[in-house]
Amino acid sequence: MYNIYTKTKNQNDPTPPVAPANKKPDFTQYIDPTGEMPTGKFKLEIWLVKNKVLFYKIAVRFLVVFSVVTIAYSMWQMGDYLIFGIDEDALMNRQLSSSVNYAVWHDHFAPAPIEIVTANILAGGTDKIDAFAILANHNEKFVVSFDYYFVVGDLVTDKHSGFLLAGENRPVASLGLSAGSGASIEIVLENIAWHRVDPHQIIDVIGWQQARLDFTVANSQIIPASAEGISATALQFDLTNNSAFGYRQADFYVALMQGETVAALLPLQLSDFASNETRAVDLRSYTSGVYGTDIRVCPLIDIYDSGVYLAPPK
């Protein structure tokens, strides 16, 4: 029998059923009816939100450990540098600043020694003599600097500084010595220093030198002391600087030659000798009885020194 007092749910009642208070919502069962957020993405974001605090703690602990390790390593490295590194750096700087002398290790790279071709005494004027020697540098890649002096009999001359360019053969001298010094002569070379020409800067060393020491002698005359009433032998000639470079101070030895023998040696110095300039030169030798057949000019210019050149004309 139907009980009229039994309450039944009205199918048209809009009031939704109420879930028990102690039951948590299960979002894993959520299905998006609109399709705007896929179920997998929604579940991932829910998982990230739930574990956000855990990720934060992991990140903080990682940064703390990383900071402790890096600070400890830095302090250890700083201490190691203060104890050992400063001395090691100083040693390395000394090693880098010193050039390696490969010539000592390999004779093949060592320059050939300076050759003393000849050493002679010349009459040098009234009661004077000149000591000179011809030196040769047979190395085409090395320039050499040195100190030299002569021992003439019982006289030791003053010490002079000299140099030879690569492949150069020329005289060095000590002029105006006392005539009573003696007949024997010896040249002594000291403080010899070889300088290899950098092949990265200059490839053809000999050609590079010849281009800068291109001087020619023209209209040369040798007038003996007995001629024209002059009391000294006159050496007159025109000297031309054919190179593309001018020189602040151009030094030369002028040799009066008797065939291939030097009869007299005279110094010549020209200031501000410009490129393509010709200078008329008149030198006098007061040595009695000297004569010659030719005049030769030997430049004494250290062309590797940038200070010897004139500034280009503006």
**Reported confidence tier of residue 290, pLDDT bands at 50, 70, 90:** confident
**pLDDT score, position 19:** 53
Buried b (16+ CB within 10 A) or exposed e, 229-239: eeebbbbebeb
Q: Give the tens place of pLDDT for each residue, 246-288.
A: 999 999 999 998 888 888 899 999 999 999 999 999 998 887 7
In this predicted model, what pLDDT tens digit does every residue of 73-113 receive, in sequence order? 999 988 888 888 888 888 888 878 776 666 556 666 789 99
**pLDDT computed for residue 35 by the predictor:** 62
Q: How confident is the model at residue 216 (pLDDT cuts 50, 70, 90)?
A: very high
Count Cα atoms within 13 angstroms, Cβ side, for 200: 0
For the residues 59-82, what does the mean pLDDT come to? 91
User: 0.85 cut: is pTM over it?
Assistant: no
For residue 49, what pLDDT band results from cuts at 50, 70 and 90? confident
* pLDDT confidence band for 30 (50 / 70 / 90): low
Q: What is the pLDDT of residue 182?
A: 66
Looking at residue 276, the DSSP 8-state letter turns out to be T
pLDDT, one tens digit per residue, over 118-168 is 999 988 777 788 999 999 999 999 999 999 999 998 889 999 999 999 999
Summarised one tens digit per residue, pLDDT across range 10-25 is 555 555 555 555 566 6
3-state SS, the chain, equals CCCCCCCCCCCCCCCCCCCCCCCCCCHHHCCCCCCCCCHHHHHHHHHHHHCHHHHHHHHHHHHHHHHHHHHHHHHHHHHHHHHHHHHHHHHHHHHHHCCCCHHHHCHHHCCCCCEEEEEEEEECCCCEEEEEEEEECCCCCEEEEEEEEEEECCEECCCEEEEECCCCEEEEEEEEEEHHHCCCEEEEEEEEEEEECCCCCCCCHHHHHHHHCCEEEEEEEEECCCHHHCCCEEEEEEEEECCCCCEEEEEEEEEEEECCEEEEEEEEEEEEECCCCEEEEEEEECCCCCCCCEEEEEECCCCCCHHHECCCCC
Report the percentage of the chain scoring pLDDT > 90. Answer: 52
